[in-house]
């Protein structure tokens, strides 16, 4: 019995610390490159004004990562994590075709 209690405590401690580890990894995550295959597939541009408007007709002036529902950066930050890129950092002024206006 003591062994299984210790094991339970060890597992609980490991699970409790996991989200902290993920948050730390995100803070250090690299910036997404426009040449990244996912970035190219989604038409990501670090500067939204450079979006291929012919190809991505849904883009509207004024849209950017910082106003996207998927943006996980802090308000006013120059970059922040995006789940579309596995938590890598995107530019607050960027845009990709997965853009969803923040509610």
| Chain contacts with ligand SF4 (rule: CB under 6 A) | 44, 65, 68, 70-71, 82, 84, 90, 94-96, 98-99
d(CA 80, CA 91): 7
d(CA 83, CA 85) in angstroms, rounded, equals 5
DSSP state, 84?
Answer: G
Nearer to ligand SF4, 29 or 65 (CB): 65
- Side-chain-side CA neighbours of residue 82 (13 Å): 33
Closest CB 44 distance from ligand SF4, rounded Å: 5
**In the bound complex, what is the minimum distance in angstroms from residue 79's beta carbon to ligand SF4?**
10
Minimum distance from residue 82 beta carbon to ligand SF4 (Å):
3
- Residue closer to ligand SF4 (CB basis): 26 or 95: 95
Q: Distance between CA 91 and CA 77 in Å, rounded?
A: 9
């Amino acid at each position: 019995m003591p062994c299984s209690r210790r094991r339970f405590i060890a597992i609980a401690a490991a699970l409790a610390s996991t989200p902290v580890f993920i948050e730390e990894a995100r803070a250090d995550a690299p910036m997404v490159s426009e040449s990244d295959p996912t970035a190219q597939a989604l038409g990501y541009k670090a500067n939204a004004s450079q979006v291929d408007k012919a190809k991505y007709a849904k883009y509207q002036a004024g849209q950017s990562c910082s106003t996207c529902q998927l943006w996980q950066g802090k308000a006013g930050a120059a970059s922040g994590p995006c789940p579309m890129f596995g938590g890598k950092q995107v530019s607050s002024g960027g845009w990709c075709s997965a853009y969803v206006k923040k509610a």
